[in-house]
Amino acid sequence: DVKEYLEKHNLIYTPHFISKGSTGLEFTFDFQIAYRKKEIVIKTFNTLNKKNLVNFLFSWDDIRQTRTKLIGKEVMGLAVVNDENKEPKQDLIEALQSRGSNVLYWKRREEVNSLK
């Protein structure tokens, strides 16, 4: 569904994006979108829970430092959260936002602010 969404909006992306972080570990993100001055790594969450949230925050933070130095661009994290059948817990959303990650609620994906 996310792939179709990206294609519908003519976004050029890399699926299954792999990047090495400052720890030397490699991490895989569902998608990556590169712009001239920034890069967005995307992780999709069918169900957002504490375990997969912590994994994403660690991996994004680890590659962010390395990628910023390597490519000279801002590296942003985007969590695409499926809220179609169940609202995610607010404390988990707040944890993402407190670490600087952007959040896209799947039900709101076509709103103007979501597309930005």
Residues 6+ apart with CB under 8 A from 115: 9
pLDDT at position 111 is 84
Q: Which residues contact 42 (CB under 8 A, 6 or more apart)?
A: 2, 13, 29, 30, 31, 32, 33, 78, 79, 80
Q: What does the pLDDT read at residue 27?
A: 97
CA distance 52 to 57: 9
Strand partners, 31: 15, 42
Q: What is the pTM of this model?
A: 0.91
When pLDDT is cut at 50, 70 and 90, the band that residue 11 belongs to is very high
Q: What does the pLDDT read at residue 115?
A: 62
pLDDT > 70: what percent of the chain?
Answer: 97
Mean pLDDT for the stretch of residues 14-28? 96
pLDDT tens digit string along 34-43?
A: 999 999 999 9
Check residue 28 and give its pLDDT.
97
Share of the chain above pLDDT 90, in %: 87
